[in-house]
């Protein structure tokens, strides 16, 4: 080596300073490194890794067996499988395990790599360990809090379901005592409106969502239940063509009530007694705008007909979603609601219409 080369080489003091800085950085990160000479079964730990485990330098493991003895019995087999797979395949090992030192459990994250001899045989493994005990504790506390929240939401959902069912039962009982047909019909319509909210709650409860509901499932359930209630004794069918779409609950409630109101009105006024008919319900989303169209092939509005309570109610519900409602009487009656799907909260997904 020439004098110039010697002059450019770092001094022993500089190397010691760099080593101390590296150790300080590893300790600050609560990390340390190790090496394992596979053929000789010699394990070497640096001082930083001893600090990660909380053991003195002289107590650091010297062999693979001594290292495995530090691992929790329930994690030991999996840790060895990760190491063995790294040796066999050459793919880095990446895993967590619990270490037990003086009765204290610490969570360790390990990333290990294999270094091979020139002939391709395993030479040694090197790895870095990080103390993730605090992170594991935070994750466990978060999971416990989420589990508790889920239980509370399930309990709340169960109570809401029972309360809605009780309201429907009370309305049905009160309605059955009415002698005036108009009053009896008013109670039936009130029951269907409560049921519309109950269907939304059921969809939210089953999906585990609290802000959005699938329009295809929600509107489809409303139609099926209307067929089995207000249309059960008629020859009127509901045909659904519904596109999947995630609707925000603030939009889902008014839209469901509009659908309920139109079908109920059609069942009462659109068809002559005993006549068969069809009610078509379509929902689509294009360019961020949703369109609900409900039409019947009944007799439509008679000339000079003034908007009734149902029409005023639907227009009021349309305003709640910032939508535009059009009612056209031609070859039956068609009600069309166009509205902007709430950005960031609802969106479409491709699928086959039902």
Are residues 83 and 186 both part of a single domain?
no
Closest CA to 60 of 97, 99, 105, 25: 99
Q: What share of the chain is helix, strand, coil (3-state, %, to 5)?
A: 50, 25, 25
CA dihedral 9, 11, 16, 18 (to 10 degrees): -40
What pTM did the predictor assign? 0.52
Q: Which among 103, 131, 159 is the end of a domain? A: 131
CATH of the domain at 143: 3.30.565.10
93 inside domain: yes
Structure tokens at 216: 């295809």
Q: What does the pLDDT profile of the chain (354 residues) look like in tens digits? A: 444 444 444 555 554 555 455 445 545 556 888 999 999 999 999 888 988 898 998 999 999 999 999 999 999 999 999 999 999 999 999 999 999 988 899 999 998 899 999 888 999 899 889 888 888 888 888 888 877 776 666 666 666 666 667 776 777 777 777 788 777 767 776 777 777 777 666 666 665 666 788 889 889 988 888 888 778 778 888 999 999 988 888 888 889 888 888 888 888 888 888 788 899 999 999 998 999 999 998 888 777 666 677 788 888 889 988 999 998 888 888 999 999 987 544 343 433 344
Q: What is the pLDDT of residue 351?
A: 37
Are residues 118 and 148 both part of a single domain?
no
- Helix 249-265 to helix 215-227 angle, to the nearest 10 degrees? 30
Q: Which among 131, 155, 178 is the end of a domain? A: 131
Are residues 216 and 312 both part of a single domain?
yes
346 inside domain: no
348 inside domain: no
Are residues 180 and 82 both part of a single domain?
no
Give me the number of domains the chain comprises.
Answer: 2
350 inside domain: no
Are residues 188 and 266 both part of a single domain?
yes
State the pairing for strand pair 236-242/277-286: parallel
What does 121-153 look like in DSSP terms, one character per residue? Answer: SEEEEEEEEEE-HHHHHHHHHHHHHHHHHHHHH
Are residues 192 and 316 both part of a single domain?
yes
Closest CA to 226 of 213, 239, 245, 216: 239
DSSP class of residue 71? B
Q: What is the pLDDT of residue 107?
A: 93
Q: What is the pLDDT of residue 286?
A: 92
d(CA 48, CA 54): 10
For residue 60, what are the domain limits? 17-131
d(CA 173, CA 318): 31
121 inside domain: yes
d(CA 46, CA 51): 9
5 inside domain: no
28 inside domain: yes
DSSP class of residue 211? S
Q: Which among 131, 156, 172 is the end of a domain? A: 131
């Amino acid at each position: 080596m020439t004098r110039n080369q010697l002059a450019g080489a770092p001094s022993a003091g500089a190397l010691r300073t760099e080593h101390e800085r590296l150790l300080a950085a590893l300790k600050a990160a609560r990390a340390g490194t190790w090496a394992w000479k596979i053929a000789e079964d010699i394990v070497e730990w640096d001082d930083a890794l001893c600090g990660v485990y909380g053991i003195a330098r002289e107590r650091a493991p010297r062999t693979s067996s001594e290292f495995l003895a530090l691992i929790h019995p329930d994690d030991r087999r999996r840790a060895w499988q990760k190491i063995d797979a790294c040796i066999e395949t050459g793919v880095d090992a990446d895993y967590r395990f619990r270490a037990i030192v003086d009765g204290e459990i610490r969570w360790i994250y390990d990333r290990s790599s294999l270094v091979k001899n020139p002939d391709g045989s395993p030479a040694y493994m090197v790895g870095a360990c990080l103390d993730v005990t605090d992170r594991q504790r935070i994750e466990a506390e978060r999971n416990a809090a989420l589990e508790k929240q889920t239980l509370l939401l399930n309990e709340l959902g169960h109570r809401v379901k029972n309360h809605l069912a009780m309201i429907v039962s009370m309305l049905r009982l009160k309605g059955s005592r009415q002698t005036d047909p108009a009053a009896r019909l008013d109670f039936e319509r009130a029951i269907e409106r409560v049921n519309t909210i109950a269907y939304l709650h059921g969809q939210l409860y089953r999906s585990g969502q609290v802000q959005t509901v699938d329009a295809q499932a929600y509107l489809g359930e409303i139609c099926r239940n209307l067929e089995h209630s207000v249309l059960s004794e008629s020859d009127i069918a509901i045909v659904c063509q519904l596109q999947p779409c995630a609707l925000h609950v603030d939009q889902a409630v008014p839209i469901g009530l509009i659908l309920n109101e139109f079908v109920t009105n059609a069942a009462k006024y659109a068809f002559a007694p005993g006549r068969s008919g069809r009610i078509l319900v379509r929902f689509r989303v294009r360019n961020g705008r949703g369109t609900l169209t409900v039409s019947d092939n009944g007799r439509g509005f008679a000339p000079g007909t003034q908007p009734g309570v149902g029409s005023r109610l639907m227009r009021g519900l349309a305003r709640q979603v910032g939508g535009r409602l059009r009612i056209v009487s031609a070859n039956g009656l068609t009600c069309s609601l166009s509205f902007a799907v709430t950005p960031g909260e609802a969106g479409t997904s491709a699928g086959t219409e039902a």
